[in-house]
Structure 1
Amino acid sequence: MASRGYGSAPTQTRQSMASSGGAVKARQLAQLQQQLAQLSNNLADTENLLRMTSVQAESMRGLGSWHAGLFMAASKVLGEESVQQNQQQGGGGGGGGPN
């Protein structure tokens, strides 16, 4: 009888350990599921941000083209004005000097 009572205690310990191990495993799986859901949400946010960044990059490219056109136009206008000013200054002052 003593051996029976002694033998049943480890069985109960194993069952309680198995049930507590199952609870730990269930808690870890629930936590993992929560983290995977958060990761999925973060990936969806990242995808949306990348899509928006792509659209903005195209817009920046268009703005760059506009600015380049404006700079080229301004350069041409300012370059023509400086050529005209040089011709006026050079034509009036350069005619009296030696060639």
Structure 2
Amino acid sequence: MKDYLPAIIGMALATQLPRLIPALTGTKKIRSRYMSRFLSSIPLAALGTLIIPGIFSVGGSMIIGLLGGLVSLILAFKGVNIMLNIVISSLIVSFLIYFI
């Protein structure tokens, strides 16, 4: 347990500090267009780093994950609701895992 405690504390700080600093320093709007675009793209980059490894390792085959990711990407470009996109992509990946 002692080995995990510094890692847990470090992860908690890394998660909470970016949220606390703006709240504690004030609520001024960011005037720099570049900085505003940079900060708004951070959640997308973090989401990508969580999703991409899963696409390559799902079902024990990279092809199944790539097909599921491609279906999800096509549905997203067509403007399908995100929950419906998740359900359809998950069903297709489950179908591929079960039958392939």
For the superposition of Structure 1 and Structure 2, which TM-score range results when normalised by the shorter chain?
under 0.3
Q: Larger helix proportion, structure 1 or 2?
A: 1
Structure (1 or 2) with the larger CA radius of gyration:
1
**TM-score (norm. length: structure 2):** 0.27
Larger relative contact order (Cα-Cα within 8 Å, sequence gap ≥ 6): 2
Q: What is the TM-score of this pair, normalised by structure 1?
A: 0.28
